[in-house]
Every structure is written in C-alpha cells, then in structure tokens.
C-alpha cells in the first residue's frame, strides 16, 4: 500500500529580503499523512519561519512547499498565543474560519458541539468571551477553531509555551489523542524536548546558518501516548538522543560554514 | 479587591477632587474679600453663583443652542472622519496624498479661519456647526485610522490563513478593532466641538443666542460676574459631553464587544 504524503518540501530557500542572506534552507522534507512531526531548535533556528512557509503565510524565495501534496483539505493553525478575538464569544471564535474565504462554509450545531466535547470545553464556556476564559480554556478554544473546518493538517506554533506544567501535560495528551482520532498530519514547533518526544512520531532538529534540518529522529515506536509514557525508560532515552542532537545543532547556530546544497 | 476597599477607592477618587475645588473656591473668596478688588475686575465665587442663578433661563437657552451646534458638528466629524479613516486604512496612496491636509485642519488656528467660514458658508447655525466640525474632525481621523491599521499581526495571519477577503478582514477584524480608538477620538473631539461652536458664535453676531454670543456680549459690560457664569456653563458643557461619551462608550464596548477604552479584552 502506498503512503500518502501530506507535505512535500523540495529545494526550499527563504530570505527575508531580496539582498539579505538565506535564513532557511531545506533541500527535501516529506511528511506522510497522519504523521506527527515536531520542529525543535534553538531560538532563531527557523522553526516558526518553516511553519509559516508550510502554512502559506510566507512565500518561499526558491523551491516548493506543497502542503496537502496528495490530499485536498484545509489547514488549521494554533498560534503561540490563543489569538482569540475579544469581542467574539468562544463559540463565535471557533466558527470564525467557517465565515471566511470566498465561499464561507456551514458548520452544523452538532458538529460544533462535538468539537467542544473533543477539546474538553463545556457548553457554558462557549458563550463566554475570551476575557472570561482561563489561559488553558482559551487554548482549547483556539484548538477547536483550528479544527472546525475538519482540516487534514494541523500546524501549531509553540501553543503551550505560556501554560503551567500540569496544564501543558494535559493539553499535550489531548492534542495527541485528537491527532490520532482525526488522523491529522500535525506539525508542532516547540522548544520543549519532552513535549516533542512525547507528542511526535518524528522530531526534526533545526540549526545552522542558514537554518536547516540537522537531525530527523524517529520516535514513532513509543507506546501509547498516555501519562505512563513519561516514566518509560525508552521515552527518557529518546529525550537524551534528541537533547544530544539539539546540542550538536545548537553549536552550529549562526556559526556553521555556509553549505551550498544542490537545489 | 474587597467591597470595602472598592468603596474606599471610589470615595477617595470622588471626594479628593471635590475637596480641592472647595479649597480653591474658599481661597478665591477670601482673596477677593481680603484684597478689596472690584467685582468688575474679579467677582467672588458667591457673586458668580448669584449671577448663575439670576441668568439661569438665558444661560440654559444659550447652552442648548451651543450644544446643538456642537453636536451637529461632532456628528459631521464622526461621519466624515470615519469615512476618511476608512479610505486612509485601505490605501497607502490615499493616506500619503490626503493625510497632510488632515494635519492642516489641526494646525490652522480655528480663531483665524472661523470668520472666513462664517462669511463663506453661513452667518448662522450651519456656519457654527461647520467650524465645530473642522476643529473636532482631526482626533476622529487619527484615532480611527490608528485603530483600523494597528491590528494584532497574529489575527491578521489567522485571517490570511483562512483566505479572508479584504472586505471580511475589514468588516470582521479592522472595524471592530478600531472602536475603542474611535470612542477615544470622540471623547477628545467632543470637547473640541464645544470650543469650535463657541468660537464660531463669536463671529455670527446676534443672530444666534449661544454661549459664544453671550460671552462676546458680556465681555465689554460691567457684569463680569455674568461673564464668569457663562464661562462656567461653557466649561460644564464640555465636561458633560466628555463624561457622556466616556460612560456611553465604556458601556457599549463592554456590553457588545467585551473591550474597554483602556485596552481590549484581557485574559484572566
């Protein structure tokens, strides 16, 4: 059986200005449908830039970024801050993507209710504005909004960075469960090594100047992504492997000799 | 904050300015009495109060006249100012071409152009309303343009990600985002509109009975206490407009948009 590719990047190069140096260079990256991939790296290693290129929010200077390479579906995105519109209720925020675009879509009440249940929000919370919601609830609303158009790809840019540890761990488990239930292809940007290993099938370590993928570590063989995994010896071994890869990539951030990659 | 602390804070915020006012009035009264200065030069607060009571019907009529002209001017400012801001936010070319002229409206002294407007447009109510509009439009244009342009970049990315049209971004994001800015602009413009109406009335002669006409008439007489009373009413009118816009604006923002004048909806 052939594997569907949700994301295919080839010969990607990105400059912020026409005359400036390349900040990101990815010769090739293929993500299969249903994979959970984390982008890990030091600050300035190009993680968020790569995510924005995948989302289509930035145009590549050279090369191709083909999200939904063999599918035809929407992309949902969760930003670092929940990014809720303050004058809308939680429900109205969730429905926002359905109202946008040249052909707004209809989302049934049943689908919305199912979505709230999926992300762990109760009906009463849906009538509240963002100022009345806690940080964790706001992030759940943002997640529901990213899923409302039933995307095949979910992009997340350090969504849990501002949350406390308990809430972060709960949301990590919830997001991984949703990823599995909905057969999503998920790309997560994170600074947190434990989070990357816990949630992902693959961890891509970025670094260098221009930034590129330094290591591609397969962590898909880890058992069930429940709480017990956090004390699993294999989980800790993989955390060490990723940490070492991150150190190796980090030592080259901003200092690596410029490599010419054939594009 | 506990209820007791909240009440104490509110009382402190209300009582402190009142105490200052009473102290200033007492010092003024004592100063006039102790110096023996003529009430034609500086009347005492008690004499101003007596003039206010004596002239109440005339002052009320003048106040209504001026307030009406100022509100018509302010309404024109809001309609025309928001339209300009809308155009400025949609095109950098339009902004570059016309924004300097908006600044011109603010920098030209109103006292200098008021007679020109009165002569050219109308030596009556509409001339006064137009002067009021000219002086009050700049804060509306600048604050609304800022509100339309200064949108959270992450929210713009969210709209971009969902292929929002230009109209959808304007209607669902930029316009609601600009509301606190617009209301802040109206707060400033409200006071300016009153000033504009009074200045306009200086030049229309006796065809109107506004506060400006009254000030112009009283300044050359011997009833300085009545001049002071008229100035006091003019000041109170400005404060009233500011307070109404602030309270109504806060209520609208909180009730319908979950925001406040001091900032958009905050996270808990």
Instruction: Count how many pairs of residues, chain A against chain B, have C-beta atoms within 8 Å.
Output: 70
Which pLDDT does position A195 carry in this prediction? 93
The proportion of chain A whose per-residue pLDDT surpasses 70, expressed as a percent, equals 91
Structure confidence by residue, pLDDT tens digits, A84-135: 998 999 999 999 999 998 887 888 888 888 889 888 888 888 888 888 898 8
Burial class of residue A183 (count of CB atoms within 10 Å of its CB; 0-12, 13-18, 19+): exposed
Could you tell me the pTM of the whole model?
A: 0.78
Distance, in Å, from the CA atom of B133 to the CA atom of A183, rounded to the nearest integer, reads 60
Nearest to A119, CA basis, from A75, A157, A175: A175
Find the residue in A nearest to B178 (Cα): A87
CA distances (Å), origin A25, targets A53, A191, A261, B206: 12, 20, 8, 77
CA distances (Å), origin A197, targets A33, A218, B49: 19, 9, 78
> Averaged over A23-46, what is the pLDDT?
91
Cα of B161 to nearest chain A Cα, Å: 7
Confidence of residue A251 (pLDDT cuts 50, 70, 90): low
Distance, in Å, from the CA atom of A174 to the CA atom of A225, rounded to the nearest integer, reads 10
Which pLDDT does position A2 carry in this prediction? 55
B window 118-147, beta carbon within 8 A of A = none
Which pLDDT does position B267 carry in this prediction? 37
Which pLDDT does position A126 carry in this prediction? 85
Residues in chain A with CB shorter than 8 Å from the CB of B158 are 77, 79, 83, 96
For B214-240, letters b (16+ CB in 10 Å) and e give: bbbebeeeebbbbbbbbbbbbeebbee
> Rounded to 5 degrees, what are φ and ψ at A114?
-60, -40
Structure confidence by residue, pLDDT tens digits, B70-119: 999 999 999 999 999 999 998 889 999 998 888 888 888 888 888 898 88
Which pLDDT does position A260 carry in this prediction? 33
Structure confidence by residue, pLDDT tens digits, A1-14: 455 668 899 999 99
The proportion of chain B whose per-residue pLDDT surpasses 70, expressed as a percent, equals 97
**Residue A159 at interface with chain B, using a CB cutoff of 8 Å:** no
| Residue with the larger pLDDT of the pair A123 and A55 | A55
């Amino acid at each position: 059986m052939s594997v569907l590719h949700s994301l295919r990047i080839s010969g990607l190069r990105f400059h912020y200005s026409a005359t400036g140096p390349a900040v990101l260079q990815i010769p090739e990256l293929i993500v299969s449908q249903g994979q959970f991939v984390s982008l890990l790296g030091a600050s300035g290693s190009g993680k968020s830039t790569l995510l924005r290129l995948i989302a289509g929010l930035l145009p590549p200077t050279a090369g191709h970024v083909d999200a939904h390479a063999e599918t035809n579906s929407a992309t949902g995105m969760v930003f670092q801050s929940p990014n809720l519109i303050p004058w809308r209720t939680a429900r109205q925020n969730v429905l926002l993507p359905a109202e946008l675009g040249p052909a707004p879509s209809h989302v049934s009440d049943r689908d919305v209710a199912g979505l709230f249940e999926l992300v762990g929000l109760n009906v009463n919370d849906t009538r509240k504005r963002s100022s009345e919601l806690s940080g964790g609830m706001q992030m759940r609303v943002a997640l529901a909004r990213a899923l409302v158009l039933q995307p095949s790809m979910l992009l997340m840019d350090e969504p849990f960075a501002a949350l406390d540890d308990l809430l972060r761990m709960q949301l990590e488990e919830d997001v991984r469960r949703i990823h599995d239930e909905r057969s999503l292809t998920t790309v997560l940007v994170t600074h947190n090594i434990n989070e990357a290993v816990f949630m992902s099938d693959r961890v891509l370590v970025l670094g260098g100047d221009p930034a590129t993928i330094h290591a591609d570590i397969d962590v898909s063989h880890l058992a069930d992504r429940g709480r017990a995994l956090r004390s699993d010896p294999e989980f800790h071994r993989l955390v060490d492997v990723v940490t070492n890869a991150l150190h190796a990539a980090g030592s080259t951030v901003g200092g690596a000799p410029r490599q010419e990659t054939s594009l | 904050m506990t209820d007791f602390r909240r009440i104490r804070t509110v009382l402190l915020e209300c009582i402190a300015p009142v105490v200052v006012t009473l102290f200033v009035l007492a010092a003024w009264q004592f100063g006039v009495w102790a110096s023996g200065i003529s009430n034609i030069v500086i009347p005492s607060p008690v004499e101003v109060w007596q003039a206010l009571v004596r002239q109440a019907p005339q002052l009320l009529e003048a106040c209504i006249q001026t307030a009406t002209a100022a509100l018509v001017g302010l309404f024109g400012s809001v309609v025309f100012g928001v339209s300009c801001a809308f155009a400025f936010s949609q095109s950098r070319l339009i902004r570059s071409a016309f924004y300097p002229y908006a600044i011109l409206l603010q920098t030209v002294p109103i006292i200098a152009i008021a007679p020109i407007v009165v002569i050219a447009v109308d030596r009556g109510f509409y001339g006064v309303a137009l002067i009021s509009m000219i002086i009050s439009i700049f804060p509306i244009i600048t604050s609304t343009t800022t509100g339309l342009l200064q949108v959270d970049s992450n929210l713009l990315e969210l709209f971009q990600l969902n292929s929002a049209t230009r109209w959808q971004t304007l209607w669902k994001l930029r316009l609601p985002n600009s509301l606190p800015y617009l209301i802040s602009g109206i707060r400033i413009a409200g006071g300016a509109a009153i000033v504009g109406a009074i200045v306009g009335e200086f030049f229309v002669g006796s065809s109107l009975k506004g506060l400006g006409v009254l000030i112009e008439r009283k300044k050359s007489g011997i009833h300085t206490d009545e001049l002071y009373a008229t100035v006091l009413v003019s000041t109170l009118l400005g404060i009233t407009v500011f307070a109404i816009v602030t309270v109504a604006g806060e209520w609208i923002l909180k009730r319908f948009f979950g925001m406040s004048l001091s900032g958009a909806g905050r996270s808990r």
